[in-house]
Structure formats: C-alpha cells, structure tokens
Structure 1
Amino acid sequence: MTQSDSDLSVLAVMALEWMPDAAPPHPALSQQQAGLLAERIGHDLALLVPEVTGLDLMVMGAHFDPAEALRAGWPLHRRLHELRLRAPGRNAAPRIIALGADAAGEIPQPLQAEAAMQGGALRIVPLLLAGENAAAVGEQLETLLLERGMARAETALLAQEAFATRVEHVRYLTIHDLAAMMALQYRNMGLEPLWGLIETALLAPGKAAWLDAPPEPLLYLTNGEVRAGLFSDAAWRERYGGDEQDPARLARLRGFFDARLRQFAAVLEAHDLPLLYVDIAAGCDAKTVLMEA
C-alpha cells in the first residue's frame, strides 16, 4: 500500500486460540458465515470506538498463522485493501465486506492459508478498517484493544460454530499488538535475538540490520533478504571457538551452532524472509563478506 493508502487504513486481526484438544477447524467460512461474523466484529469494534461505523470493514473469512500476517508489506492486509478497491459501492455509505468460500465450497486464493503452517493453536482472521477517519480510529484502537479487546461472548460463540471447533479465547488486536505478542512469544522460546531482524523488515523495510552477537549465527538483513554466514570449520573456530581446544567439545559446539542456524532459517521462512547462505573462509572479515555478497 502507498503511504496515503496506509494513512486511510487500520490493520487488525481477530485472534483465535483453539482449545488444546479441539477438532481441526474448517479452513474457511462460507460466504454467509463470513458475512454474519463480519457484522458481529463490526458491532464489537463499534462498542469500543463508535467512529468505526464510519469506515469500511473488510473481513477475510479464513484463519492464518500469525507469521503469515507479519510479513514485509503486510500481504494479507494488502489483499483486503486491493479487494476493497475493486468492490462495488466504494463512494457510497460505509460497507461491511466479508470474503468467504464460494457456493461450491471452493476456497479462493486470498483465503488459502499455507498448508505447511496449519495446526497451530493460535490463528488470526485478518481485518481491515478503511476510510477518511481511519487514522484517528486506529490511534484509539491501539490504545484500547490490548486491555479491552476481548470479543463479546456472542461473537466468540459464532466464530466457534462457524469454524466448527472449540475456541478458548477470541480477541481483537491491531497489527502492532500482534507483533508485540509475537515478540514476547519469541523471547519465551529463546528467539529474541532474531526478532530485531523481523521487526526491521516489517516496520523499516528499506533499512539494513545485523544480528552480530556470538554465539548466535551472523545474519545480515538487506533488501528484503537475510544473508547468513556459512563458516568453514577454521573460520567458525576463529569466531566462535574461543580458547576451547578439545576437538570433541568443539564438534558439539559446532553442532549446536548449526542447529541454531536451521532453527533461525525456519522462523525466517515463516515470515517470508529468504535466507541466502554465504561461505565464510578463515581469515576473512565475515561482515564485509556478507555485505558484499
């Protein structure tokens, strides 16, 4: 979205936490179900910020992994923005527009979550509020949703019935709230060092950023990709071996390092940040090699 577009849009989600023993939910709602849920969502948000009723509300009637929403350029919300521009009645009264499966039950491309990322207990339904007063509404929602953003019981029950599973919690979050929640989860999972690169890709996509904190892998974010140092054994010992001389212990430490790099690669892939491995030889300045790759 252009800057003017983003000024007129509020990016948000309905966060759904399934019960631990819940049946697999339906991947997407029918058009009728999506429409009913969108009306309930609009009512919930208007109870918090009455000015919501003066904006278009777009609801994607499908659920996604949070990482699918937290990608550079906000691709899920970009789809909603593009569909809003194509929907009829753009210059008429504010609209509630819901996207669901077609009459044959087929799920259109915008509603298809990545198969490899299904199965998590926390899923999100993308929401977009758009219109002339969106910036002011967005400021209020940023202030209110973390503390008061639980969906009403009627809305949570409808979501549970529509997705045909058992829901533990249903709440609303702005995209920044969702990012803060993911940052906390990553910290609890020992992935905090990686979040700085992801956050830069989301909020400052034109900027470069480093993860340069041994014993962590060396990573460099630039131009929407992440370059990772792939160290030869000798180069790895120079950077990470310290005073260790025991070959068996060095081998174990190298194994831990390689596993950590694979873990980072999986997380970056979830956020659609491609990883480019760059060979680092002994005696080289690793950061210079990554910058010049």
Structure 2
Amino acid sequence: MDHDDLISCPGVLALECAPDAAPSRVTLERDEVDALAGFMAEDLAALLPDVTEARLAVAGALFDAAQLLRPHFPAYATLDELAARLPRERGGIVAFGARDGRMPAQPLSPEPALAGSPMLYLPWTLQAPATIGKALGEAMEVELIGRGEAGTRTADFLMRTLDLRLEHARYLSRHDLLALTCVQYEHANLAPLWTMLEAALLSPDSTETTLSARGLPLRYADGVLHVASPLAQLRAHAAETTDDAAHTLAGWVFELRQYAAVLQAHAVPMHLDDACTDDAMLSVETCADPDPALPAPVLYTHRAPGLGVIAISVAQTDATRMRVLANALVLGGRLEAHLHALGARFGADGAVQTLDRVHLDADRSLTPPPVQRLH
C-alpha cells in the first residue's frame, strides 16, 4: 500500500514518574523497543477497534511534551517517514530504537535541556488505511482518555529496563496531549501564550492576536510570536497611567522570561517589536549612534527585586551629559554573555556599572541615572 493511502493517527504513552525517580536513560536500544512495541500492540488491540489492520510505529525514546508539540510535529513526521521506508512485508509493528544511545534521526532524540519533567512521553502512531483511518482516529479520542491504562507487562518492562518507578502509564492521543498541555499552561497563568502556541501548532500559516496576562499585545504571524516592545509601551502610555513604571516593566520582563523559555522549548521564535537582534533572550533597542567626541561607552545593569538584572543600558557620559546608545531587556541566558556581546557591539570600555534598581526618566525611558554635576 502506498504511503499516501495511509492516515496517521498519532499518540503517546504517557509516563508519570514517581517523585525523585527519573529514568536511568531516555532511549531504548533496538531490541528493547522491539519488545516494548509488542506489548503496546497488545494493549492497543484491547482498546481500539480494527487496530490490527493498522501499522503501529513506535519511537523508543522518552520526551518532554514540548519537544513533541512543535510546529509541523517533527518527531511524528520523522516517525512516519521512517516507517514508510519499510516494506509492508515487515509486518504490523515497526519500532525505532537507539544504537549505543543514538537514535536514528535527530527529531527522535530527546533534548537534554528539557530533561527533568515528572511527565515523560513515548511517541507512537498508527498508520491506517484510509478506509478505517478516520474511524480509528475518532476511537482514539474517545477510548484512550477514558480507559487507556497501559498493561501490566508494558509498565513492568519500562520500569525494569529503565530503572524507573512509575505512578501511572497510559495511552493518549496527540490531541489529548495538546489538551493536557493547554490545561497546564492555563494553571500557570499562560493562557494567552497557549493561544499563540496553538496557532503555531495547528494552523502555522494563520495570524492570531491577543493580550498577555499583563496587557502586552501579542501577534502570531509567519511562524513567529511578535511581542510589543515593553519599553515602547511604557513610553507610549506614560501620560495615561500613574502606575509604578519600574514595577510594570519588571512584571513584563518576568512574564516574557516565562514566554521565552516556553517558546524555546516548543521551537517557536519570539521577537520583540523594535528589537534589533535575533537573540530572543536579549532584546536590544538602539537609541543613538556613538558620539566620537564622548568617552567610550559604558554598560549599566538595572536590577529589579527578585529578578536580578532585567535590563542593560549602553551609554556615553562626560562631566555634563549622557548619551544613551541602546537599552536591552534580559529575558534569559547568561548575563556575562550578554554583557560581552553588547560591549563588543558598541565598543564599550569593559566597565560595568551596577544599578540597584531600574532607572527611568520623566518620559519613562530606560536610562542610567543623570550625571552628577560638580558645583
């Protein structure tokens, strides 16, 4: 049967680890995943109608949900492609495991940066003929969420093989995983971000707009989440509010740090309006060109309670004036690396002035404190 005649019905085996019970490794060797796939096939045959007429493809690796929920679902696309290369004569079960810890393709390799979640997910898919694919997919949505507990042999095999203690092991459709992730993000006050992520996952060519929980305009378009510049927002609304501007800016940075980390895990780019850098963890806005008549630029770090350094200013000063060249919001990454990059970019003299709070001028523009004049 041609691969184009098959409908892919993706799912996961969701594993809830016992507290402090991380697996000894996150990939299964080829012989191990072959055995696991056999147990999974038995489980699914008891849960779903006509499943034996479909081909079960299993990836022997444990992922964080974010790596499986990325635009175009690369892990599943790779699993489908690898399975399609094998002739149907190979049978109704195909499994892809590691050789000496290395999976056969990069999208099937769990990323170490996402390790540590108590919930791990092993991806699988049913490649079904078009005659039963739609009904099988609908059955997955109904049956798995209600009674998809993994069989004893499946759970025991995983625990013994990976030296893992499990609280639960159950089958979910990929739509179930999306719904579960939605609920988790809503509980973390990230519902607006999920609106953008859902567009990136399910309709990547669409355009969506909303406001963040703290009121920043968000727009998803062309595969990128665009965020209104917090610094521009402060300036634009300076005459309308009497809020503590430094506190407002710190709140936005806190929110955007969460956004940046989540979006990076889901491989969705984030860009702040007016920023002149592609580094999502350091959003730089230029203010002026260097003045050769002034001394070399100096870096100033602005700190906020509980958040550390949230912004960096680059400025030239002499005895009478200050010229701000750029302001940058620190949304993640290593502060030392950001300081080095800004210093190299603007020719700073290497000096870093640490400010104990966020300094804004009367127009709510981020700036170092004014030069102290001698009398």
TM-score by length of 1: 0.86
Q: Select the structure with the greater relative contact order (CA < 8 A; seq sep ≥ 6).
A: 1
Once the two structures are superposed, residues 214-234 of structure 1 have per-residue CA deviations (whole angstroms, 9 ceiling, x without a partner) of 62332211111111222336x
d(CA) in 2 for partners of 1:41, 1:250: 56
CA contact (8 A) 1:68 1:271 kept: yes
Secondary structure in structure 1 of the residue aligned to 2:149: coil
Q: Are the structure 2 counterparts of residues 276 and 9 from structure 1 closer, same or farther at C-alpha, using a change threshold of 3 Å? A: same
CA contact (8 A) 1:65 1:122 kept: yes
Q: Are the structure 2 counterparts of residues 236 and 164 from structure 1 closer, same or farther at C-alpha, using a change threshold of 3 Å? A: same
RMSD: 2.2
Q: Are the structure 2 counterparts of residues 254 and 5 from structure 1 closer, same or farther at C-alpha, using a change threshold of 3 Å? A: farther
Structure 2 portions without partners, runs of 5+:
276-284, 286-375
d(CA) in 2 for partners of 1:240, 1:151: 57
1:250 is matched with 245
Amino acid in structure 2 at the alignment position of 1:272: A
1:109 is matched with 105
Amino acid in structure 2 at the alignment position of 1:253: T
CA contact (8 A) 1:231 1:279 kept: no
1:204 is matched with 203
d(CA) in 1 for partners of 2:69, 2:253: 26
Amino acid in structure 2 at the alignment position of 1:83: L
Once the two structures are superposed, residues 41-100 of structure 1 have per-residue CA deviations (whole angstroms, 9 ceiling, x without a partner) of 11111101131111110000011110111111111100111101111x23x474201111
1:57 is matched with 56
CA contact (8 A) 2:17 2:119 kept: yes
Once the two structures are superposed, residues 191-243 of structure 1 have per-residue CA deviations (whole angstroms, 9 ceiling, x without a partner) of 1111111111111122101122562332211111111222336x325348853
Q: Are the structure 2 counterparts of residues 271 and 105 from structure 1 closer, same or farther at C-alpha, using a change threshold of 3 Å? A: closer
Secondary structure in structure 1 of the residue aligned to 2:209: strand
Secondary structure in structure 2 of the residue aligned to 1:101: coil
1:291 is matched with none
Of Structure 1 and Structure 2, the greater helix share is in 1
d(CA) in 1 for partners of 2:165, 2:17: 6
Amino acid in structure 2 at the alignment position of 1:113: P
Amino acid in structure 1 at the alignment position of 2:105: Q
d(CA) in 1 for partners of 2:5, 2:245: 50
Once the two structures are superposed, residues 81-133 of structure 1 have per-residue CA deviations (whole angstroms, 9 ceiling, x without a partner) of 1101111x23x47420111112x444433431111111111111010100212
Q: Given the alignment of the two structures, is residue 263 of structure 1 paired with residue 258 of structure 2, yes or no? A: yes
Matched length: 271
Q: Are the structure 2 counterparts of residues 172 and 128 from structure 1 closer, same or farther at C-alpha, using a change threshold of 3 Å? A: same
Q: Are the structure 2 counterparts of residues 150 and 242 from structure 1 closer, same or farther at C-alpha, using a change threshold of 3 Å? A: farther
Amino acid in structure 2 at the alignment position of 1:269: Q
Percent identical residues: 35
Amino acid in structure 1 at the alignment position of 2:44: L
2:166 is matched with 167
Structure 1 portions without partners, runs of 5+:
282-293
Written as runs of structure 1 = structure 2, the 5 A alignment for 1:56-205 is 56-87=55-86, 89-90=87-88, 92=89, 94-102=91-99, 104-110=100-106, 111-132=108-129, 133-205=132-204
2:371 is matched with none
